[in-house]
Amino acid sequence: MKRIIFLITAVISYLWLDWRGFMQKLGERARLSNLKIPKFLFPAESISISPAHQLVEFGELSKAQEYLAAKGKLTISERKLKNRVTQTLFELGLKPVEVTEKITSKKGVKALYFLTNSLPFTTSGYTKRSQSLMEAVAENGVEIHAATRLGYPLTIGKWPKSSTYLLGGIQHHNIFPWVFSRNPAKRYEKTIELLAWLAADLGATVIHTTTNFPNAIVANRVAAKLGLPWIYEVRGELESTWLSKLPKDKQRAAGKSEYYQLAKAQETKYANAANAVVVLSEISKCQLIKRGVNSEKIFVIPNSVEQDFLYKEYDKPALRKKHGIAENSVVVGTVSSIVGYEGLDTLLRALVNLPDRYRGLIVGDGVDRPRLESLAKSLGVNSRVDFVGNQSSQTIDEWYSLLDIFVVPRKDTAVCRTVTPIKALTAQALGIPVITSDLPALREVTGGIEAYVIPEDSNDLANKILEVQPHTKGKEWAASRTWNHAAESLRSIYRMLTS
C-alpha cells in the first residue's frame, strides 16, 4: 500500500512540474519495454515556446524568472516552467553543512553507499561500476550496503518486490516514504531523515555517494547528522553532460550560462566539503585541483574489469551461427547506452566506405536509437547493421565476443574529454582490438595502446577499421585494472577515514 500511494503522488508531482516532459519519458520507457501506448495519450498540439523557455533551455534561469514575473498572466506551460526553475535554483543554492565527527570506538568499517540507481533495475556503466566495486570491497573484508535515491526504482517505472534485496552478496535498500512531495525542500528532508535512520540502524561508519551534487547534498547532511565521515565519488559531470545535449553552435555561450556555472560551483563546493574525493581518472583529478579541491584528499580509482574476463574464451563461430552472422563477416560495433555524444552516427557513416563484409553491431538502447535506425536506412547500410537492444548482464560478455573490432567513436565534447567509460576496458580484457576517438579520457582508460581517430571523422574511422590488427597489449593493460585492485584502494580510504 505504501508503494502504491507513493507512486500515485510521484506521478501527480511529475505531471504538475512538467506534463509533457513526463509523457516523453513515459513514451521512451514504453519504447524500451516494447510496449504500445495509444497515441491519444500524447497530444499533438504544439506549445508556443516563449522567451522564458528559450532562456531556460540555454541555462539563464534567473532571467527566465524575471521574464515570467514581469509578464503577469502565464500560460499553463509557463506556470510549469516557473515551478521547475524555482526547484532547480533551490537545489543550486543549497550550501554544504559542516560535519563535526564524533569520537567513538569503532570496530571495523561499515560503509553505506548512496546511489542514483542500481542493478537489476538499471543497466549502465554507472550501475556496473557500483555493483562490481561493492562486491570486490566485500570480498576484501569490508561490510558495505547500498541505498538508492528517494523512490527508486518506482520513479523510473519499475516495481520492486521488496524494499530490500540481495544482489551479488550485497544488501540493497530502496527508500520509500508514504508521499512524494512536490516541495523540493521537503523531499530532501525526507530523504535525509530516511537515509540517516538506515545508516544508524546498520551501524554505518562512513557514508559514500556519487555525483551528481543532489546526492552529495543528502550525503553531506546525513554525515553531519550522525557525525560520520563521507566520500564524494566524482564519476560524471552534470554540467558538461547538459552542455553536450545542446546544439554545437550554442555550447560555447551556454558554457558561460548561469546554470552551467552554478552547477559546476555546486560540484566543486561538495567536493571541497567531503572528507575524501574519489575520481575515475587523472584527468578528473587535475580538473578538480584546478577548481581548488585539495589534491591530498583526491584518490584515483579507475574503471576496471572482473579478473575472470581476462581468462574467458568463446567459440566465436558457434556464437555467430547462433546469432545468424556469416563466418566471413568482420563485425564492428559497441556495447553502449545510445545517446548523442557516443557518436554512433560516425560508425554508420564509416560503414558506407567499408566493404560489404563489414557489419555493424550495436548492443544497448537509448533515446538516440530511433534517429540512428533512420540514419542507417537513409545511408543504405541498414541491412548491415544490427541494433539488438539491451542485453542481460549475465550474457553481455558473449555479445562483446561477437565483435572483431570494438569502437568508441565519441564526440569531442567536455564530458567525453573527461569521463572514462568501462566498455573499452572490458573489450580489451576480452582480447578485442579497440578504436576510440582521440580524446584524453579515452586514451587514459585504454592505456594509449589502441587505435585513435579524429572525432566525428567517418573517413578516418573507416581507414582505421581497415588497418586494425589483433594484439595482446590491451589484455595486458586490462590486467592492471581489475576490480580487486580498485577495492583495495577503496578499502584503504575507508580505513583511513574511520581509524
The pLDDT of 46-68, averaged and rounded, is 87
Ordered alpha helix ranges (H), 93-183: 125-139
pLDDT of 103: 59
Neighbouring CB atoms inside 10 A of 368's CB total 18
pLDDT of 104: 57
- Beta strand 206-210 with 358-363 is unpaired
pLDDT at 251 over 70: yes
pLDDT tens profile 72-82: 888 888 888 99
Average pLDDT of the chain?
90
pLDDT at 24 over 70: no
Question: Please, is 316 exposed, middle or buried when counting C-beta atoms within 10 Å of its C-beta (0-12, 13-18, 19+)?
Answer: middle
Q: Minimal CA–CA distance to 409: which of 339, 481, 331?
A: 339
pLDDT above 70 covers what percent of the chain? 90
Q: Minimal CA–CA distance to 90: which of 156, 17, 150, 155?
A: 17
| Cβ-Cβ contacts under 8 Å for 280 (sequence gap 6 or more) | 234, 235, 300, 301, 302, 303, 419, 420
Distance CA 197, CA 191 (A): 10
pLDDT tens profile 262-299: 999 999 999 999 999 999 999 999 999 999 999 999 99
Domains, the chain, in order of start with CATH, read: 15-92 (no CATH), 110-304+484-498 (3.40.50.2000), 307-478 (3.40.50.2000)
pLDDT at 250 over 80: yes
For the ranges 19-28, 356-365, 489-498, the lowest mean pLDDT is seen at: 19-28
pLDDT tens profile 99-120: 887 655 456 899 999 999 999 9
Taking each helix axis as running N to C, give the angle between helix 213-226 and helix 184-202, from 0 to 180 degrees, rounded to the nearest 10.
Answer: 50
Predicted TM-score of the model (pTM): 0.89
